[in-house]
Amino acid sequence: MSKNGSVPRLTDNADDKAAKSWIGSSMTLGALVGALISGPMAQFFGRKKALIAYGIPFTIGWLLMAFARSVTIIIIGRIIAGFSAGLLSGTAPTYVVEISIISIRGFLGACFQLCVTIGILMVYVVGAFIDWNYLAGIAAVPTLLMAILMFFMPETPSWLISHNKRSEAEQSLKSLRGAGSDTDQEMSQLQEQTKASEQGQSFSLALYAQKFHLCPMLLGLGLMFFQQFSGINAVMFYATSIFSESGSSLEPKIASIIVGVAQVFATVAGSLLVDRLGRKILLSASGALHVLSTAALGLYYYCIGNDATNSDFGWVPLASLVVFIIGFSIGWGPVPWLMIAEITPDMSRSATSAFATAFNWTCAFFVSKYFEALKDAITKHGTFFLFSACSLLSIVFVVLALPETKGKSSEEIQEHFGGPKNTSGRNDGLLKNGNNPSSAGVEMDKLNA
């Protein structure tokens, strides 16, 4: 603990272990609150203004950590930064889906997770050479850049239309599609769809009495549950300690960097494959890799028992976690965020994204806060066997419950859940194939998808 205003240093005694668990999990508590209000904020202020505003508390949180002289201030800083992360994760995927066209919707949606993995790798690399408080100060820079650069981005046309700002929506669409694009027909269709979606009413929880609003929300909660109970936050938050206590032959910091590099490259691969192979294939493959890697790690801990001095198989933790991260990065990392925005109707998208994101962070809190306690209760190997079992259930969930959204318009996806059928007479064949990108009608459907 800190003395005389110095930077806090934590040891392995019981009090400091408790402090570590709160430091590791406190960010998720703030994210839970942020996620709950992200929907109303993005809907009221607009996606663009909301993303700009999020940079303020984000920067404050990092600076509090950078200048902290007690564990309490560190935790407060992490809660504020987590609050901002919850806001961001509830709004950014929606923004991306609403400005993208169908042919690259999956790729752009997966880029959200790619940016997260790049950030994690940067923390691992820079953190290997400098103290954590300097690292927190550096982390404030990207949050400021986000707020500044969002000033130069357009608001989403669908949000502008839903708030009766037709001229601004047309300008936004032209900036996204090209100044020479003919957007008159597209704007007209966008207005018609928005009017049909709202049916003369504003959003209310009563919408979830309708199947095509309720089913996407339930599936979204399932996606977030299995994402977190794969054990991802336990792996990322405690990667260095896992290597330290497992008897790995590599220096823990170097091993963590290797895991971070594997995560980035695998996320790039997943981003490129998501529009080619489809969402369900990637999620199933991801789950299978999770089952194998966490089971292998559990078996390793079972075989070595409490003897962390046996380095004959010190490569197993690194290999297992690399496989785990590759699996997560191609499927369960990026795809859930993308699919929630894809499968949810316009009218309930902000609220469903907020509920799902809040649930995600709730699960993340329990996994990260009680990971150490779980290891004490059911042993290290039992904990990783539990994660393996959850990943096996995730495959069943994907195969039996999830629809495939690859190449489908929003109307087709809503029809799958019993929503209103497309009666506009548009040629959906062009939509699926991504042909004739200059066509206003086709661009309209791509936008709403």
More confident: 409 or 96: 96
- The domains of the chain are located at 20-163+210-406
Query: Following DSSP, what letter does each residue of 122-181 receive, concatenated?
Result: HHHHHHTTS-HHHHHHHHHHHHHHHHHHGGGSPPPHHHHHHTT-HHHHHHHHHHHH-TT-
Give the pLDDT confidence of 173-203 residue by residue, as tens digits.
788 877 666 667 667 766 766 665 555 455 6
- The pLDDT of residue 447 is 31
Paired tokens of 61? 């949180």
CA dihedral 290, 325, 359, 368 (to 10 degrees): 100
Give the pLDDT confidence of 112-121 residue by residue, as tens digits.
778 888 888 8
Query: Following DSSP, what letter does each residue of 276-344 receive, concatenated?
Result: HH-HHHHHHHHHHHHHHHHHHHHHHHHHHTT-TT--TTTHHHHHHHHHHHHHIIIIITTHHHHHHHHHS
Give the pLDDT confidence of 352-398 residue by residue, as tens digits.
888 888 898 888 888 877 887 888 888 888 999 999 999 999 999 99
Distant-in-sequence contacts of 75-80, Cβ < 8 A, 24+ apart: 75/22, 75/23, 75/26, 77/136, 78/23, 78/26, 78/27, 78/30, 79/26, 79/27, 79/29, 79/30, 80/30
Q: How far is CA 304 from the centre of its chain?
A: 35
Paired tokens of 74? 């560190």
Average confidence (pLDDT) over 335-352:
82
Instruction: For CA atoms 365, 363, 136, 16, give the dihedral sign.
Output: positive
CATH number of 20-163+210-406: 1.20.1250.20
